[in-house]
Every structure is written in structure tokens, then in C-alpha cells.
A and B are shown apart, each in its own frame.
Chain A
Amino acid sequence: MKEVLEVSDLWIKYYTLSGVVHAVSGASFQLGKGEMVAVVGESGSGKSTLGYALLNMVPKPGKIVRGQVLLDGVDILKLGPEELRRIRGSKVSMIFQDPFTTLDPLRKLGTQFEEFLIEHGVERAKARAMVKEFLVAVGLPERAMHSYPHQLSGGQKQRVSIAMAVALNPVVMVADEPTTALDVIVQRQIMDLIDDIRKRVGTSVVLITHDLALALERADTIMVMYGGYVMERADKKRLLANMIHPYTKALFESLPRMSQKRMPKFLPGYPPDLRNPPSGCIFHPRCAFAQEKCRSVAPVLNEIARNHFVACHLAGGEQ
């Protein structure tokens, strides 16, 4: 399959007054057309920063220090401001966690939507027709274009965001916790909508979430991040059958399950301080299997089987 998104060796740091935060350290992954990769990890694992990097929009004082983000073969980290503006929203788009504040409260939805289309070169008359078409496509009535954001519910607003995010057939859509602020029923509807668009239009999706169950249900590939590093990345089925990284295992064991009559296991300790990350493997202070080598040498992401990457010194020994 042709890869539409190729991220390689991406390093992102935040230069704050209290020190340099190593937010993303050497992330790499590929995404094929119409695929969905779920980036999972706890808060502060760098997953949102990674998402912003896919639009080359890492917030200040963050900076992408190294790496490549190839979108349809073009390195978006090398584009100028105007070129970048043009691909944002048209080739790569983003939907955000909190649908309540993502739309301008003072302007009608239709006006905002049309403005966006016109800025990307759509003619006014056509833009108006497209607004209607896409609002209907995401399950809203046409008259929603005359509404102000406060007149819609959170789920409806998220639908508007999605409609805007897919209107120009982007190659990749980054969904940064798109359902976290919504209740489970709406969550299901929104995820169904994203799935539907993905299948119909062929937009690839990067789903950023800390909801493991959601990731397992929807994504093709799971990428586990911890402390800015990719710990393990594999096809969903393969990962479920054969988790290798101790962190991945711990993460999955912390999921409560109906079928088991035991408490979920929790991972002791705290996430690392990314201003001052531990030496060697970032996970070693919390790892039950840590060895001498883990304390001094950072493991690299190795392909231990087809499409199964693990960053652990113990990988292979445990299979």
C-alpha cells in the first residue's frame, strides 16, 4: 500500500523558561491511504504535540528540532508560511478535543465554513452549496448554517468541525481526542462518522487518544507512546495477540475488564519529568524488568516482526 504520511525521526522540544522539555523524541511511523493509526499514551506522553507537528503547528515555545513529515511525498516541515497555510485544512486537517470552543462564538456556522472554503480557492456560490452538502453529510440539518455555535450541542459542534475538516478531501486528518469531551453515546456517533468518512473518502486518520478501548475498537494500527518515545507500534490484531513492551502490557493490564473478576493492575510510579528525562530507556524507572543496560542505553525502535516495532532491550528474548 502507498504511504500517504511518513513521519521519520521526529524530535520536538519546548524551550520553556524552566528548561527544555523533550516532548517528542525520535517518533517514526507511516500511514497508508484510508488507514487509522491510534496514538495512545498517558497525559504528557507527547501525543498531542506529535499531532500538531503533522500540521507543522507546534505551539510556541515548541520547536521541531529534527525529522521529516512527508505528506503525499512533500516534507511539510520545509514549506514556507503561505504554502503551509494552503495545505492546512485542504491536505491535512485537525479536529480538536473540546468542540465547545473550537468555533468562533460571534459568527454563524455557515459564514465560518464558507470563509474557510473561499480561503482555499472555492468560489462563493460553490462554497455555499458545499456548506449545505457537508452539513447534511455529517447529519446536521441545512439550516444549521444559520445558527451560532451556542445554539448547537457539543456533539453537533464536533460534527461541524468534522465537516470542515473533511470538506476539501484532506489526505490526513488528525483527530486530537475528538470524543473526550462528549458522552459515550455521542462518542459512538462521532466515531462512526469518522469511520464512515474514512471509508468513503479515503482520508487517513491519526487518532490521538488516551482511551485504549476506543483505540482498539476503531484503529488499524496502535502506536504506544511514553515520555515522548514510541514504545511499540503494531497492527492492532498482532498487538493484542503479542504485546512485547512492558509498558504496553502494563497499559493494557490497567484496563478494567468485565470478564475478569480482578481489579485492573496499576503501574506504580509517575510519568517521567521531560525536562530532565531519565537516562537510558525512558521507561526504566517504572519497569519491572529493567536491567543494567536499560539504565544506560536508550533502546531503538526495532522491527521485530513485519509491521511490529518495539523499543526495548528485552524484545526478542520474551517472544
Chain B
Amino acid sequence: MKLEIVKSPYFLAGLTIISIFILMALLADVISPYSPVEGVGPPLQPPSPRYLVGTDNLGRDMLSRIIHGSRIMLTIVMIAVCLSGMVGTIIGLISGYVGGVLDRILSFVMDSIYAFPPLILAIALSVALGPSPLNAAIAIAVVYIPTYFRMVRGQVLSIKNELFIEMARALGIPSTRIVLRHILPHLTQTLMVVFSMNSADAILTEAALSFMGLTVQPPTPDWGFDLYKGRGFILAGAWWMLVFPGIMITLLALGFALISEGVSKSASRG
């Protein structure tokens, strides 16, 4: 099964894209040609050999900004996805295994969150918590908790009726152990799919929050915020200020989507 995943072209393509972005974030200081926050040339220069993707309205090198922008994006998205994955999975396990009134209450709460349009909820939470990268991550996490919850709960409901769970109960294995050692391992593959799919979503949500200025403060380089700024210069013909940050957001989301596709394809093949 593991080999299957690795052989999947979707998975490989996705992994390559993500790896490049991660490397870019790690080596940002080394590979950027200029400082991302200081003006290094004339403003609104189109792409040229000297400024590969042009400069912005303050004369900052767009390439350096884009490279550095991957840091904040990846950090926020990873914190958000790990947080919502963890919380959603734990609540889902408890809700599904315990069942009864607790399950109904938790499901009700989760469904209420799920019923909101994710972006609007994320914006509302972000505003309420105040603009900062960590708060943005928390807002994104809350929005996606129900995704994990619903998936995990559903799987637990079906696995808990398997005979080996009944056998474990008949052998006096404690409930927490049954959940963690006998149910959770059966969820790994599905969790991987949801995790990567969810990362793709979270990237778009993060970009939207940045666009509204709810994550970092200028002059910190950030793709979403650069998009927002570039918007004002499109009539001036500065298309590079919009196009390049946009491509980065799309590519990163695509990378995660490809991974999820690869994993789910090999999972369904069994």
C-alpha cells in the first residue's frame, strides 16, 4: 500500500511542489536576491533580468517578497491545519465512540460551525480575535475542525461495530486504549487525505484573510496582502504585482490537492 502511494504520479507531483515551497521558505534568506522589505530600485519596474518579476510601488523586489512570503503562508497554514486536525480528530473519536447524548451535543455544535460559509466565519473570528498571524491560524483552525470531526466520527461509528472491537471489550481492554490503539490506526489513510485536502483549502482561506489585512502588518511580505496592494496598480499596468503572488497561492494549493488525490486514489484501490 505504501509503495502504491509513492508510485502515484499525482502524489509525486504534489510532493515535489510542496518540497520546493518548503525549501524556498527555509532558504529564503539565502536565495532572495534583495531584501524583501526595503526599496531596492525604481518603483513599478516590469520583469527584467535585474528584477525577475518586477518591483512594487515602493521599489521593493517582488521576487524577494514572494520568496519570503512563503514563510508566513506555510507557518500559518501548518499551525491551523495541525490544530484543527488534532482537535477535530480527538472530539470525533470521543463523540463517535461514546455516542448517546454527548455525541448529539457535539454533532450539533459541529454542524452549526459547518453550516457557516467557511470564509465568512474565518473573517469574523479573525476580526474578533484581532489581526495577527497566530489569531489567523486559530480562526482557520476553528473553521475546519468540523471537517475532521465529521469524517472521524463517521469512521469510528462503523469501526466500533467491528467484531475485533467487541472482542477487545470482552477481553477487558480499557476504552481509551481501544480508541487509541484499535480504532485510530484504522483512520490514518483517510486522515492523510483530509489533511492534505484541508491544507489546500486553508491556503486559500489564509490568502483571503491576508488580503483583508488580518494576518501580518506591512511591510512583512505576504502573498495575500501583496495581492491586495497590487490590485491598486492594475490600471497603471503593473500586472506583475498581481500575477506572481496569485500563481504562488495557486501552485501551493495545487500541490496539496495533488497529494490528497494521490493518497485517495491509492487508498480506493486498496
Q: Which residues of A contact B (CB under 8 A)?
A: 55, 57, 59, 85-90, 93-94, 96, 98, 101-107, 115-116, 119-120, 161, 164-165
| B173 nearest in chain A by CB position | A119
| B167 nearest in chain A by CB position | A102
Interchain CA distance A68-B130 in the complex, whole Å: 61
Chain B residues with CB under 8 A of A107: 181-182, 185
Q: Report, nearest first, the 10 A-B pairs whose CB atoms are least far apart.
A: A88-B172, A89-B171, A89-B172, A101-B163, A94-B170, A102-B167, A85-B172, A104-B164, A116-B171, A106-B185
Q: Other than the known A93-B170, A102-B164, what 15 A-B pairs have Cβ atoms closer than 8 Å?
A: A55-B170, A59-B166, A96-B166, A96-B167, A102-B163, A103-B167, A104-B164, A104-B182, A106-B185, A107-B181, A107-B182, A115-B173, A116-B171, A119-B173, A164-B171
Contact of A115 among B162, B181, B186 (CB under 8 A): B181
Interchain CA distance A115-B170 in the complex, whole Å: 14
Contact of A119 among B162, B164, B167, B174 (CB under 8 A): B174
Residues of B145-203 at the interface with A, using a CB-CB cut-off of 8 Å, are 162-164, 166-174, 177, 181-182, 185-186
Interchain CA distance A55-B173 in the complex, whole Å: 13
- What are 29 A-B contacts defined by CB distance under 8 Å? A55-B170, A57-B169, A85-B173, A85-B174, A87-B172, A88-B171, A89-B172, A93-B170, A93-B171, A94-B167, A96-B163, A96-B167, A101-B164, A103-B164, A105-B164, A106-B185, A107-B185, A115-B173, A115-B177, A115-B181, A116-B171, A116-B172, A116-B173, A119-B174, A119-B177, A120-B172, A161-B167, A164-B171, A165-B171
Chain A residues with CB under 8 A of B185: 106-107
| A119 nearest in chain B by CB position | B173
B19 CB to nearest chain A CB (Å): 29
Chain A residues with CB under 8 A of B172: 85-90, 116, 119-120
Chain A residues with CB under 8 A of B168: 104, 116
Chain A residues with CB under 8 A of B169: 57, 88
Interface centre among B167, B171, B172 (most CB of A within 10 A): B171
Q: Please state if A89 and B177 are interface contacts (CB–CB under 8 Å).
A: no
Interface centre among B162, B164, B172 (most CB of A within 10 A): B172
B161 CB to nearest chain A CB (Å): 9
Q: Please state if B162 and A88 are interface contacts (CB–CB under 8 Å).
A: no
Interchain CA distance A115-B167 in the complex, whole Å: 13
Interchain CA distance A116-B170 in the complex, whole Å: 10
A48 CB to nearest chain B CB (Å): 12
Interchain CA distance A98-B166 in the complex, whole Å: 12
| A103 nearest in chain B by CB position | B164
Interchain CA distance A96-B174 in the complex, whole Å: 19
Interface centre among B162, B168, B185 (most CB of A within 10 A): B168
| B162 nearest in chain A by CB position | A101
| A86 nearest in chain B by CB position | B172
| A90 nearest in chain B by CB position | B172
Interchain CA distance A94-B172 in the complex, whole Å: 11
Chain B residues with CB under 8 A of A104: 164, 168, 182
Interchain CA distance A86-B169 in the complex, whole Å: 11
| A120 nearest in chain B by CB position | B172
Chain A residues with CB under 8 A of B174: 85, 119
Chain B residues with CB under 8 A of A103: 164, 167
| B166 nearest in chain A by CB position | A96
B1 CB to nearest chain A CB (Å): 11
A71 CB to nearest chain B CB (Å): 14
| B161 nearest in chain A by CB position | A59
A152 CB to nearest chain B CB (Å): 14
Interchain CA distance A303-B174 in the complex, whole Å: 42
Interchain CA distance A88-B170 in the complex, whole Å: 6
Interchain CA distance A89-B169 in the complex, whole Å: 9
Interchain CA distance A102-B168 in the complex, whole Å: 8
Chain B residues with CB under 8 A of A94: 167, 170
Q: Please state if A89 and B170 are interface contacts (CB–CB under 8 Å).
A: yes
Contact with A along B244-264 (1 / 0, CB 8 A): 000000000000000000000
